[in-house]
Chain A
Amino acid sequence: MQDQTSTYAAAETSNVIASDGRHIKIHGPDAFEAMRRAGRLAAECLDFITPHVQPKVTTGRLDRLCHDFIVDHGAIPSPLNYRGFPKSICTSINHVVCHGIPGDKVLSEGDVLNIDVTVTLNGWFGDTSRMFPVGEVGVKAKNLMDVTFEAMWEGINVVRPGATLGDIGHAIQTFAESRRYSVVRDFCGHGLGQIFHDAPNVMHYGNAGQGDVLREGMFFTIEPMINTGAFDVKILEDGWTAVTKDRSLSAQFEHSLGVTADGVEVFTLSPTGLDQPPYKD
Chain B
Amino acid sequence: MTAKPSKDTKSDAAGHRGRLRERFMKSGPSALPDYEMLELLLFQAQPRRDMKALAKRLLKKFGSFSATISAEPADCRLNRWMQHKR
- By a beta-carbon cutoff of 8 Å, the part of chain A in contact with chain B is 18-22, 78-79, 82-85, 90, 98-99, 116, 118, 127, 186-190, 196-197, 199, 201, 203, 223, 225, 235, 237-240, 252, 254
Flag if B2 contacts A223 (CB, 8 Å): yes
* Interface contacts beyond A99-B2, A239-B48, A240-B47: sample of 15 additional A-B pairs, CB < 8 Å, sorted by A: A21-B7, A79-B1, A99-B1, A116-B2, A186-B4, A187-B3, A188-B5, A189-B2, A189-B3, A190-B3, A196-B1, A197-B1, A197-B3, A199-B7, A239-B47
Interface residues on B, range: 10 to 19
Flag if A237 contacts B1 (CB, 8 Å): no
**Bound-complex Cα distance A240 to B47 (A):** 8
**Bound-complex Cα distance A181 to B6 (A):** 24
Q: Give the residues in chain A near B4, CB-CB below 8 Å.
A: 186-188
> Is chain B's interface secondary structure helix, strand, loop, or mixed overall?
loop
Q: Give the residues in chain B near A20, CB-CB below 8 Å.
A: 7-8
Q: Give the residues in chain B near A18, CB-CB below 8 Å.
A: 8
Determine if B46 is an interface residue (Cβ-Cβ < 8 Å). Answer: yes
**Bound-complex Cα distance A79 to B5 (A):** 18
Task: Please list 9 pairs of residues, one from A and one from B, whose beta carbons are closer than 8 Å in the complex, sorted by A's number.
Answer: A82-B1, A84-B47, A99-B1, A118-B1, A190-B2, A197-B1, A201-B8, A235-B48, A237-B84
Flag if A239 contacts B49 (CB, 8 Å): yes
**Bound-complex Cα distance A238 to B1 (A):** 17
**Bound-complex Cα distance A167 to B17 (A):** 31
